[in-house]
Structure 1
Amino acid sequence: MESVMTAVQAILPQHFLSRLVGKLAQLENPVWLKNFLIRTFMSRYDIDLTEATCSSGEDFPHFNAFFTRSLREGMRPLASSHWCHPADGVLSQRGAVASSELVQAKGRTYSIQSLLAGSDEEAGRYAEGCFATTYLAPRDYHRVHMPIRGHLVKTRYVPGDLFSVNAATVERVDG
């Protein structure tokens, strides 16, 4: 069955579906549908809202607000150690960048350049560096924080296929 689901993902119009689901996740009406989807998701993935600013799924204006829920003040205090992780989730890969060009992500090896959408200049900045990959499960808090003082000055769109990151799909999909 897992092979079938992976094959289905390969033939679906991934970017169209991603945009469609994004639009649906922003819908506030009908309220009963929004609440049903949130309750179902909470039940399926055992989501606990005790740390969230909204204590009930019905308090969120739409599914996306629930999925990217904010936390109450003090729920993620900065660690006093030298290491601080920017997101909830499981550290799935970590290590040194080998040969100035390879990084493991999703169980695969990628070039730094491909992960940065073809930027040789920026890829060079990470040569001989280190990397860490975090897997955010559906139940995890889905915000990423900068664990240092600073300002985000750039984001980058990285084109490519949009496969699920569950273990079954990762095992079966190349690239």
Structure 2
Amino acid sequence: MANTQTDATVRDRAFALLQRLLPTRWLSMLVFRITQIRHAGFKNALIRLFLRGFSVDLSEAEYAIPENYDSFNHFFTRALKPGMRPLAADPQALLSPVDGTISQFGDIRDGRIFQAKGHEYSVTELLAGDAEAAQVFMNGRFCTIYLAPYNYHRIHMPLEGRLRKWSYVPGRLFSVNAATARALPRLFARNERLNAVFDTRAGPFGLTLVGALFVGSLETVWAGRVTPPHLRGEPAHYQPMNPVILGRGEELGRFNMGSTVILLAAPGAVEFDPTLAPGRTVRMGEAIGRWRQHG
């Protein structure tokens, strides 16, 4: 057992080292451009190749025939047929915003979020130094959900909210799979990401969309495509020009390839479902907990 664990650790570290050496922004831009190609023969072959490699249930999708998609990206960000993701009946259910796998969840202790054994990062780092936004989540709760390539890749509201502010944070584009999370400290605070803070009946609520290797394209319903291009430099913070109010379960954005979503809740705002556990798969719209009325 000890040798097996050691071998796994060595593989994780080697994979992380390889990523440090790769031109991740250039590779991600290349993949993005390939996924936009509309040539019928090329995009159909790419979609068919993907379907052979991953189990994708196209019977749920708006278009069940691969040839009906304009590009690989159109297929990857596919809409679902109406009713495929019913929302939990309890009006105070905290909805899963995506289809994915629970990576970690729990308390934010001393302003820090658990990433994997031996690794954590701060809320302030995640929110790109926005101390005011970070303060409201100190001693609150978090939930990290990983989207695999075969998952549905649109992101929805866990509860109704009004967008208070959002930011684009330039960064690296490391993989966000479990191996990299185990090997690379502060992974989610290093990668390119988009942070959004909403005012809700449960108080301030944060969602972070994390970009990753080959999958660094982020899009929201209020700003359109945010990346690419993959910029360097300081974070860009924005106040909404017009009110952005989104209902529970309403689409807020999408990954034009997949990655990770992190939920942030203020102290006392959320109780997670007692059956929730790392490694559990979730579907958009199902209850992962309950929220409490703020104040």
Pair in the same fold by TM > 0.5? yes
Deviation at 1:135, TM superposition (A): 0.9
* Residues 1:63 and 2:72 are matched in the alignment: yes
Change (3 A) 1:106 1:116: farther
Question: CA offsets per residue over residues 1-52 of structure 1, 9 Å max, x none?
Answer: 76654433211111122122112211112x2111111111111111111111
* Residues 1:10 and 2:20 are matched in the alignment: yes
User: Alignment partner for residue 113 of structure 1, among 102, 108, 124?
Assistant: 124
CA distance in 1, matches of 2:163, 2:97: 13
User: Alignment partner for residue 168 of structure 1, among 179, 194, 201?
Assistant: 179
Contact 1:96 1:131 (8 Å CA) reproduced: yes
* Residues 1:51 and 2:60 are matched in the alignment: yes
Unaligned runs of 5+ in 1: none
CA distance in 2, matches of 1:170, 1:112: 17
Give RMSD over aligned pairs. 2.0
> 2:53 corresponds to which letter in structure 1?
R
Secondary structure of the equivalent of 1:144? strand
CA distance in 2, matches of 1:23, 1:153: 32
Deviation at 1:106, TM superposition (A): 6.1
User: Alignment partner for residue 136 of structure 1, among 147, 154, 164?
Assistant: 147
Residue correspondences, number: 173
User: Alignment partner for residue 78 of structure 1, among 84, 87, 96?
Assistant: 87
User: Alignment partner for residue 36 of structure 1, among 40, 45, 52?
Assistant: 45
* Residues 1:25 and 2:35 are matched in the alignment: yes
> 2:167 corresponds to which letter in structure 1?
R
Question: CA offsets per residue over residues 113-168 of structure 1, 9 Å max, x none?
Answer: 11111111111121121100001111110111013334545432223221112233
Contact 2:94 2:159 (8 Å CA) reproduced: no
CA distance in 2, matches of 1:147, 1:123: 19
Change (3 A) 1:74 1:120: same
Counterpart residue number, 2:102: 91
Larger deviation: 147-156 or 35-44? 147-156
Change (3 A) 1:106 1:44: farther
Secondary structure of the equivalent of 1:37? helix
Secondary structure of the equivalent of 2:167? coil
CA distance in 2, matches of 1:113, 1:25: 34
CA distance in 2, matches of 1:118, 1:72: 40
TM-score scaled to structure 1, two decimals? 0.88
Larger deviation: 159-168 or 62-71? 159-168
Change (3 A) 1:34 1:106: farther
User: Alignment partner for residue 102 of structure 1, among 112, 116, 140?
Assistant: 112
Identity %: 43
Question: CA offsets per residue over residues 63-113 of structure 1, 9 Å max, x none?
Answer: 1111111101111111023232111111111101101x1012466311001
Unaligned runs of 5+ in 2: 1-10, 187-295
Change (3 A) 1:64 1:127: same
